[in-house]
């Protein structure tokens, strides 16, 4: 489990009702990552950080499957199949879309985000969407290369916590 987390995440102390909260404990959980190859200098780092966070939470590497696709737009179809399989406690979508001179980037961010949310709700498995949208290369680097502050690290932690929450509410 990640150091420094000694109580349930988000616990409201003094609240006299049962709280169903997640822990950053990935032991016994299985995760799938779908990573876009486009902008691979950044997506590779997002993947490294996400896997590092999963491992820091106690997930064994044999319980993590990583699948590569050409770009962010191809991520949802693969995650749909993975979610439908029932083999995963959590899924992570990783990609980087940098705005250009057209509206193409915004279209990719909007449509993939909508599809990932639908997949998550349809199959009851958390799909953590870290297809990073940025206005510039510098913004993208800041979000992807920040070590434990990166969106990849966040994705790993969010996948574990949300999977644990779902186990408690089922």
**Residue 123 annotated in active site:** no
Cβ atoms of residues 7 and 63 within 8 Å: no
Q: Distance between CA 162 and CA 54 in Å, rounded?
A: 12
Q: Distance between CA 16 and CA 19 in Å, rounded?
A: 9
Helices (H), strands (E): how many in the chain?
A: 5, 4
User: Which of the residues 60, 77, 85, 104 is marked catalytic?
Assistant: 104
Scanning the structure block, which residue is given the tokens 């009851």? 124
Give pLDDT, residue 10: 65
Give pLDDT, residue 170: 64
Cβ atoms of residues 2 and 57 within 8 Å: yes
Q: Write out pLDDT tens, residues 61-84.
A: 999 999 999 999 999 999 999 999
Other CB atoms closer than 10 Å to residue 59's CB: what's the count? Answer: 25
* pLDDT of residue 51 exceeding 90: yes
Single pTM value for the model: 0.90
* pLDDT of residue 169 exceeding 90: no
Give pLDDT, residue 146: 83
Cβ atoms of residues 106 and 99 within 8 Å: yes
Q: Write out pLDDT tens, residues 96-121.
A: 999 986 688 889 999 999 999 999 99
More confident residue, 10 or 146: 146
């Amino acid at each position: 489990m990640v150091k420094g987390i000694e109580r349930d995440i988000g616990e409201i102390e003094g609240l006299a009702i049962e709280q169903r909260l997640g822990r950053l404990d990935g032991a016994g959980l299985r995760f799938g990552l779908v990573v876009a190859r486009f902008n691979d200098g950044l997506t590779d780092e997002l993947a490294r950080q996400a896997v590092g966070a999963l491992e820091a939470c106690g997930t064994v590497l044999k319980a993590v499957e990583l699948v590569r696709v050409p770009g962010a737009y191809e991520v949802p179809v693969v995650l749909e199949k993975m979610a439908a399989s029932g083999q995963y406690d959590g899924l992570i979508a990783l990609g980087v879309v940098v705005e250009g001179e057209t509206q193409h980037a915004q279209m990719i961010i909007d449509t993939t985000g909508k599809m990932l949310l639908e997949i998550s709700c349809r199959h009851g498995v958390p799909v953590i969407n870290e297809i990073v949208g940025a206005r510039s290369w510098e913004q993208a680097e800041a979000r992807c290369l920040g070590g434990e502050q990166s969106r990849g690290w966040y994705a790993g932690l969010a996948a574990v916590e949300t999977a644990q929450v779902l186990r408690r509410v089922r």
